A = this chain, B = another copy of it.
Amino acid sequence: MTTTTVIRNVRPMGGPAADVLLDGATISAVVPAGQAAADLPTLVDGKGQLLVPAMVEAHTHFDKTLWATPWRPNSAGPTRNHRISNEQAVLKDFKVPMAERAAPLIEQCIARGSLYFRSHVDAQTAWGIGHVQEMLALRERYKHVIDMQLVSFPQGGLLISPGALELMERSLELGVDVVGGIDPAGIDNDPIRHLEAVFGLAVKFGRGVDIHLHDLGELGRWEIDRIADMTAAHGLEGRVMLSHAYSLGAFPPADLHAMADRLAALRISVMTCAPGYVTVPPVAMLRSRGVNVCSGSDGIRDAWSPMGNGDMLERARLIALRFGWSKDADLAAAFDVVSHGGARALGLAGYGVEAGCQANLVLLDAENMAAAVVECGPRRTVISRGRVVARDGVYTGT
Contact status of A321 and B320, CB under 8 A, knowing A276-B276, A306-B371, A326-B307: no
Chain A interfacial residues counted at CB < 8 A: 33
Q: Is the CB of B326 within 8 A of A305?
A: yes
- CB-nearest residue of chain B to A299: B326
From B278, B318, B322, B374, A324 is in contact (CB under 8 Å) with B278
Does A94 count as interface, using CB distance less than 8 angstroms?
no
Contacts of A326 in B (CB 8 A): 74, 76, 304-307
In the complex the two chains form, is A367's CB within 8 Å of B306's CB? Answer: no
Interface centre among A276, A301, A317 (most CB of B within 10 A): A276
Q: Within 8 Å CB of A318, what residues of B?
A: 276, 321
Q: Chain B's nearest CB lies how many Å from the CB of A13? A: 15
Known: A307-B320, A321-B318, A374-B306. A328 touches B73 (CB 8 A): yes
A318 to B321 alpha-carbon distance, docked (Å) = 10
Contacts of A76 in B (CB 8 A): 326
Interface residues in A301-339 (C-beta closer than 8 Å to B): 301, 304-307, 309, 317-318, 320-324, 326-328, 331
Q: Name which residue of chain B comes closest to A301, CB basis.
A: B374
A196 within 8 A of B: no
Given A321-B318, A375-B309, residue A71 in contact with residue B367 (CB < 8 A): yes
Where the two chains meet, the residues of A that have a C-beta atom closer than 8 Å to any C-beta of B are 70-71, 73-74, 76, 274-278, 301, 304-307, 309, 317-318, 320-324, 326-328, 331, 367-368, 370-371, 374-375
* Interfacial chain B residues near A275, Cβ < 8 Å: 321, 324
Contacts A70-B367, A73-B370 supplied; 18 other A-B pairs, CB < 8 Å: A71-B368, A73-B327, A73-B328, A74-B328, A275-B321, A275-B324, A276-B318, A276-B322, A276-B324, A277-B321, A278-B324, A301-B374, A306-B326, A306-B374, A307-B317, A307-B321, A307-B326, A307-B374
Our pick among B276, B309, B321, B371 for the contact of A71 (Cβ within 8 Å) is B371
Of chain B, the residue at the smallest CB distance from A324 is B277
C-alpha gap A74/B317 in the complex (Å): 16
Interfacial chain B residues near A367, Cβ < 8 Å: 70-71
Q: How far is the CA of A71 from the CA of B318 in the complex (A)?
A: 20
A200 to B328, CA, bound (A): 42
Question: Closest CB-CB distance, A93 to chain B, in whole Å?
Answer: 22
Q: Can you name the residue of chain B whose Cβ is closest to the Cβ of A371? A: B71
**CB atoms of A321 and B276 under 8 A apart:** yes
Chain B residue contacts of A317, Cβ below 8 A: 307
* A331 cross-chain contacts in B, Cβ below 8 A: 306
Residue of B with least CB distance to A275: B324
Which chain B residues border A278 with CB–CB below 8 Å? 324
Report chain B residues within 8 Å CB of A307: 317, 320-321, 326, 374
Cα–Cα, bound, A374→B317 (Å): 16
Min CB gap A106→B, angstroms: 18
The residue on B at minimum CB distance from A304 is B326
Q: Cβ of A322: which chain B residues have Cβ within 8 Å of it?
A: 276-277
Pair A323/B70 contact, Cβ less than 8 Å: no
Query: What are the residues of chain B within 8 A of A74 when measuring CB–CB?
Result: 326-328
A244 to B323, CA, bound (A): 17
Which B residues are CB-close (under 8 A) to A274?
276
Q: How far is the CA of A304 from the CA of B326 in the complex (A)?
A: 8
A69 to B301, CA, bound (A): 37
Measured between beta carbons, the chain B residues less than 8 angstroms from A320 are 307
Closest to A274 in B: B276
CB distance from A283 to the nearest CB of B (A): 11
Closest to A319 in B: B276
* Interchain CA distance A323-B70 in the complex, whole Å: 24
Contacts of A328 in B (CB 8 A): 73-74
In the bound complex, residues from chain B placing their C-beta under 8 Å from that of A304 are 326
B371 A276 Cβ-Cβ under 8 A: no
